Amino acid sequence: MGQALSNTKTTPSPVRPSWQTALAWLMACLLLGLAGCAQIPTATPSTSPHWSGRIALQVEGQEALSFSASFELQGSPTQGELALLSPLGTLMAQLQWEPGQARLSARGETQVSNSLEDLLLQATGTPIPVAALFDWLSGTQTSANGWLADLGALDKGRLVAQRNDPAPRTTLRIALDR
């Protein structure tokens, strides 16, 4: 009974309007999302060639086939990786190869072959000269069976290669990122 009541006032914590709370949550989610996109740098930087940009392939004939995608290509004709991406950046297909083995992963399935060219033929419907493609992107005019590459605009990031023989006629267009 001899207890004295404290005469101190407690101030209620300020209440934010609902739009400020929503904005705070949105900013927190955005920062967490950006943090999730951060990549830890690798210990050793890759010294293999790397290209990225847009690729389009058009195969003429009875069953015309064409596709375009963003791409990332790295490595060499003997060991490397090619990723094809949708306009939203989703991985559509990934090819990885090393001497004696190539893997194509697409639509949740993985196919393995001892030939990269065979997997490219299966994936695109036409043979693609892998070794020549690496040379062309490096600025070296290399002949490939039936293919003719125009490297005249490579300094502007553009490459066009056509195959007229054997049929069907095929056009490969690449626009490199700058």
CA atoms within 13 A on the CB side of 142: 13
Tokens of 122: 């299966």
Q: What is the pTM of this model?
A: 0.71
How far is the C-alpha of 10 from the C-alpha of 70, rounded, in Å?
60
Contacting residues for 63 by C-beta, under 8 A, at least 6 apart = 125
Q: What pLDDT, in 10s, does the model give residues 91-132?
A: 999 999 999 999 999 989 999 999 998 898 877 778 899 999
Q: Tell me how far apart the 2 most distant CA atoms of the chain are, in Å.
A: 107
Q: What pLDDT, in 10s, does the model give residues 123-159?
A: 777 889 999 999 999 999 999 999 999 999 999 999 9
Of 175, 174, 176, 172, which is closest to residue 66 (Cα–Cα)? Answer: 172
Q: What is the phi/psi pair of residue 171, to 5°? A: -125, 130
How far is the C-alpha of 145 from the C-alpha of 104, rounded, in Å?
24
Tokens of 56: 């389009």
